[in-house]
């Protein structure tokens, strides 16, 4: 089990491209994920994960990591899930768009 606040990544440099991402949530208590590239942060209230389709923040209560396999990209979290939110890095504007606002 990972220590709180520590990044967990696989030994391979993964960009996330070509890796399928799937989420299954059972009765707001069991969360199964595929396509996990990196676990950025994990504690009882929040999990921050980098997936093949962007960053995912899961908030809840009593969250525990039941399973983590970064080689296959699988992860399972137990606890009461309150929210799941995806975010993507901001895209840089091209030179022409910056010049001609």
* DSSP calls for 53-84: TEEEEEEEEEEEEEEEETTTTEEEEEEEEEEE
pLDDT at 61 over 50: yes
pLDDT at 68 over 50: yes
The pair of structure tokens assigned to 35 is 């396509």
How many whole angstroms separate alpha carbon 87 and alpha carbon 90?
Answer: 9
> What are the structural domains of the chain?
21-99 (2.60.40.2000)
pLDDT in tens, 2-55: 444 445 444 333 444 557 889 999 999 999 999 999 999 999 999 999 998 889
Q: Region 67-93: what's the mean pLDDT?
A: 88
pLDDT at 88 over 90: no
End-to-end CA distance of the chain: 49
């Amino acid at each position: 089990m990972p220590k709180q606040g520590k990044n967990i990544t696989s030994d391979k440099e993964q960009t996330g491209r070509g890796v399928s991402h799937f989420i299954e949530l059972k009765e707001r208590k069991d969360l199964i994920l595929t396509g996990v590239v990196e676990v950025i942060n994990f504690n009882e209230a929040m999990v921050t994960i980098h997936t093949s389709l962007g960053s995912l923040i899961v908030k809840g209560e009593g969250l525990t990591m039941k399973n983590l396999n970064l080689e296959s990209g699988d992860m399972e979290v137990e606890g009461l899930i309150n929210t799941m939110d995806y975010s993507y890095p901001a895209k840089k504007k091209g030179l022409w768009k910056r010049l001609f606002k």
